[in-house]
Amino acid sequence: MKWKLMLILFLLGSNLLAQKKTNVAPTPPMGWNSWNYFACDVNEDMIKEMADAMVESGMADAGYEYINIDDCWQIDRDENGKIVADPDRFPNGIKALADYVHSKGLKFGLYSDAGRLTCEERPGGLGYEKIDAETYQEWGVDYLKYDWCHHGLHKAKKLYPVMAAELAKLDRPIVFSICNWGWGKPWKWGGEIGHLWRTTPDIKACFDCGGFFRLSVLKILDKQVGLEKYAGPDAWNDPDMLEVGNGDLTDDENKAHFSLWCILAAPLIAGNDLRNMPKDVIEVLTNKEAIAIDQDPLGKQGYKYKDKKDFEVWIKPLENDEWAVCLLNRSEEKMDINFNWQKELNLKKEYTVRDLWKHQDIGKSSESYQYELPSHAVLFVRLQNP
């Protein structure tokens, strides 16, 4: 009897009763978010144009569905405590905008914060979780990114479940994206509460550069090692949104960044201006063979298999006993590689090796493959059943 009481107290104390909705993100969510490119400069027309561009560029057809507004859409609360959108930037209100996004066959996301204020000091959700969740439902919100600024002495593990519980009470399924930058190891508790959780500080649009508050693609990649065991359907590690097409990332770097995020079963949330994409950027974002690796129904996150300093091998198990493999050259120099798939990966059967950027079969897994891997590039393949 005593142990039963203790168990109940433990469950209550650890907030495991949040009961998030399931089957909301059976594979990593795919979409677009305003922050990486536009930061606070968001408005209704731009968001509508982004929805149009998601359809016209072929991204919707490739699987992207969420159009998410990040910080700065909100300005105040009314006398009843209801959140108010900036009337200058969103003159028709958020519901009309969500309706427009839905009319394009897409889904709509918003941003708020578990603390008193958002990171840009707009009204946060603390103390308003119930009314906010109900408002999001009324507006037709499908995705909520929930940040971690101005949280005072609260603990993430205790505060995120408050909003999760309110979302769980709604009829509408809403993806709950925990954004507390990996503080307090959200991979250990996030799966009970949300559908994805950030594992690091913000990403920066450079492949390999310094920084403390914002990290390069490679620095973020390094922080994913060992997290694979926490990921699965409805519970994804989030190494932050994509910088493909931003900053001065080269074509090889864009491809490497995208391939590695696919290996990581990361949410694929584009962060560039979809209205003005060069052809090569569209090709990266809409590579359906790469996206199929990210979205593989087995729902397993890939992991680092070999680390030879500048040369790394990342692999991801796929359904039907297939594999995705990513050979990465981290160095500033090109690299000659001679790779025997079977020997290096200890394969027990023969596969066809398919290059996912060339869209070509390049041999069999029992054969060695010779290749000149450019600096900051990947060879991204699928080991396919013959």
- Of 70 and 166, the one with the shorter C-beta distance to ligand GLA is 70
- Of 44 and 70, the one with the shorter C-beta distance to ligand GLA is 70
Contact 337, 370 (CB under 8 A): yes
- Of 130 and 214, the one with the shorter C-beta distance to ligand GLA is 214
Asked whether position 70 contacts ligand GLA by CB under 6 A, the answer is yes
| Pairing relationship of beta strands 143-147 and 107-113 according to DSSP bridges | parallel
Q: In the window 167-226, what residues touch ligand GLA (CB under 6 A)?
A: 179, 181, 202
**Partners of 335 in beta bridges:** 373
Task: Give the nearest distance from C-beta 109 to ligand GLA in angstroms.
Answer: 12
Q: By CB under 6 A, which span of 7-15, 79-87, 111-119, 343-351 interacts with ligand GLA?
A: 111-119
- Where is 5: in which H helix or E strand? helix 2-13
| Pairing relationship of beta strands 66-68 and 303-308 according to DSSP bridges | unpaired
- Of 55 and 117, the one with the shorter C-beta distance to ligand GLA is 117
Contact pattern for ligand GLA over residues 298 through 317, marking x by CB under 6 A: --------------------
Contact 59, 270 (CB under 8 A): yes
Nearest Cα residue to 380 out of 278, 260, 277:
260
Task: Give the nearest distance from C-beta 83 to ligand GLA in angstroms.
Answer: 16
Coil, strand, or helix at residue 61?
helix
What is the set of active-site residues? 147, 202
Q: Going by C-beta distance under 8 Å and a sequence separation of 6 or more, which residues neighbour residue 337?
A: 311, 327, 369, 370, 371, 372, 373, 379
**Partners of 315 in beta bridges:** 303, 325
Nearest Cα residue to 111 out of 80, 149, 162:
149
Q: By CB under 6 A, which span of 21-29, 81-89, 117-125, 130-138 interacts with ligand GLA?
A: 117-125
Nearest Cα residue to 309 out of 290, 333, 340:
333
Two tokens at 27? Answer: 């594979």
One-letter amino acid for residue 210 of the chain: G
CA–CA gap between residue 274 and residue 271 (Å, rounded): 8
- Of 198 and 354, the one with the shorter C-beta distance to ligand GLA is 198
Q: By CB under 6 A, which span of 114-122, 261-269, 307-315, 317-325 interacts with ligand GLA?
A: 114-122
Asked whether position 119 contacts ligand GLA by CB under 6 A, the answer is yes
Task: Give the nearest distance from C-beta 69 to ligand GLA in angstroms.
Answer: 10
Task: Give the nearest distance from C-beta 118 to ligand GLA in angstroms.
Answer: 6
Task: Give the nearest distance from C-beta 131 to ligand GLA in angstroms.
Answer: 22
Task: Give the nearest distance from C-beta 127 to ligand GLA in angstroms.
Answer: 20
Contact 324, 262 (CB under 8 A): yes
Contact pattern for ligand GLA over residues 248 through 277, marking x by CB under 6 A: ------------------------------
CA–CA gap between residue 176 and residue 329 (Å, rounded): 35
- Of 118 and 216, the one with the shorter C-beta distance to ligand GLA is 118
- CA angle in degrees (0–180, nearest 5) for 261-148-177: 45
One-letter amino acid for residue 108 of the chain: F
Of all residues in the shown chain, the one whose CB is closest to ligand GLA is 119
- Of 200 and 301, the one with the shorter C-beta distance to ligand GLA is 200
Task: Give the nearest distance from C-beta 142 to ligand GLA in angstroms.
Answer: 17
Asked whether position 238 contacts ligand GLA by CB under 6 A, the answer is no
Coil, strand, or helix at residue 316?
strand
Where do contacts with ligand GLA occur on this chain (CB under 6 A)? 35, 70-71, 111, 118-120, 147, 179, 181, 202
